[in-house]
Structure 1
């Protein structure tokens, strides 16, 4: 039976629009919300927001089967392709699109680059299942990306925001992203949920068994990511009530390069894999892992480094707004390409 997108995931774009509208409404009719947010902060960290962001990251990291790593690492060819797509082509493509479309708006540009550096660890499982990809391999890639991000995200932010623009003579953005701030954000918003997710899986599987964990526990915690994301969006947009007329234009400015990124990354990934004679099920897993992004991490880092009311954080929110409808269409395209190029292949 062909898997279907769950109700909450299917209408994610609608829920995000509603959360944005509710947040803007709260901020517009209650201008004191900004002062209230400040009273719930310790230094630059807003406590409710930090809790929401950590909860947002916990479910996808608790779902990952880290025991798959040793087995999947043996497939050197497919592993190499995936690493190249995720950690070289993807970040470079998003960087180029950010420069082309947003060079005159450095805050938007940085927000887009932060998205490009975060590799997908959540919705990719959904897209992979819908496209009839290899679930075990998709889970492996999620595990690999999760671990890789903890050690590489801070360095990549420094490289693509501080180093490369200066080297190319594009250093007039006046953007300074301290690596120490990014590292702290990654350790808090990815390190904490990674550790809790890993330990939760290890101890619960040991006590209750893998069958109970996958059938009972995972479905129970899965909606937490969406609820936490929507909570974050409401809070962020409640601080934007006075700029309501600018929001549609900002959404459009970010949506265009994101759509181009998703489409180009999918085609590049799919046909590189096809040329390398990668079977369709692994091709789908690699392609959707490379195409999707870790918006949760991008939002968390942007809020921590630039502030909850920053343009960079706003750009992160636009990511899932655009990703869901585009990736649904790319799932249908993937199934079409499967019939066209892999029809005679026996899995």
Structure 2
């Protein structure tokens, strides 16, 4: 039996590594597959909008829940002393990113798509963000603090920011569905994830939680994300086919936003003498966004048609994040010089 468990564990670990290695290509494949499928089954999709919306919520929950089990809230007080880094992260997440989104969204034409784009830029860190920090050799402790703070503060601030933009473009966005979706895809996974973590820590121990089941949780997150991307693009297939330049524009705009934020954060970290480890935690948590949450909110409040941006951004976000991580040696030298 132990040999079977070891074999199963090694298989899961291998699958998780392969999926992680080719996540960008798999995301692209999921997108390209969903477009013709969405075109062929367009009538069925149009007649089942409530089912699509509920599916998005379920998949968003499944994408986020595993990362909430991995989220370490123990020992957060120690990293809470890094006031400068925390302030900068909150500035990037809740002021700079929304401001850029507010400026870009009106140029997308359809105000509903614009609201979806804003939602994609005001949500907290993605489930992959702490993983990026780990790969970069950044401070996991600080990354955890920033992830938890942006998560908690995002619950009241996200509806306010979306409401500010929607009122400026004369779009009526009901706040109740946004708040409900935040509870369903942020608060509920956080509570259940931390409860699950506590039970596992007590019954199985820390090595089991932080090492043994980590590949299982990572694989579950990535597979759920790929299915979510498929469903989101499936529902947006006709829009992408009829307006390919709009889809390309969203990807280009988000690329500019991510590159600009990474560049600005690097320059500011240099000016304020922030260490490489703390900078990587600050940059990755502040710049990479949880599009699962954005998709759930946009779909709940305005319908699936507003989820175009959250459907497309996962194609480019990991590419730019990984490209930045590959510049590790240059960033280290720049911050130390």
- Relative to the length of structure 1, the TM-score reads 0.84
Unaligned runs of 5+ in 1: 166-172
Which one of 51, 55, 59 corresponds to residue 52 of structure 1?
A: 59
Unaligned runs of 5+ in 2: 1-15
Distance 1:98 1:59 in 2: 31
Q: Does 1:156 align with 2:124?
A: no
CA contact (8 A) 1:119 1:294 kept: yes
Q: Does 1:76 align with 2:72?
A: no
Cross-structure match for 2:195: 199
Distance 1:242 1:340 in 2: 46
Cross-structure match for 2:307: 313
What is the number of equivalent residue pairs in this alignment?
322
Provide closer, same or farther for how the CA distance between residues 241 and 112 of structure 1 changes in structure 2, counting only shifts above 3 A. closer
Q: Does 1:340 align with 2:334?
A: yes
Give secondary structure in 2 for the equivalent of 1:67.
coil
Distance 1:233 1:77 in 2: 35
Distance 1:286 1:49 in 2: 29
Which one of 173, 185, 192 corresponds to residue 189 of structure 1?
A: 185
Q: Which moved more, 1:205-214 or 1:17-26?
A: 17-26
Distance 1:112 1:323 in 2: 14
Distance 2:46 2:173 in 1: 26
Distance 1:246 1:9 in 2: 32
CA contact (8 A) 2:70 2:209 kept: no
**Aligned-pair RMSD on alpha carbons?**
2.3
Distance 1:284 1:242 in 2: 39
Write out aligned runs for 1:126-145 (5 A): 126-145=131-150
Give secondary structure in 2 for the equivalent of 1:277.
coil
| Larger helix fraction of residues | 2
Distance 2:274 2:152 in 1: 24
Distance 1:14 1:247 in 2: 23
- Relative to the length of structure 2, the TM-score reads 0.87
Q: Does 1:115 align with 2:120?
A: yes
In the TM superposition, what is the alpha-carbon distance from 1:236 to its structure 2 partner? 3.3
CA contact (8 A) 1:54 1:189 kept: yes
In the TM superposition, what is the alpha-carbon distance from 1:23 to its structure 2 partner? 2.4
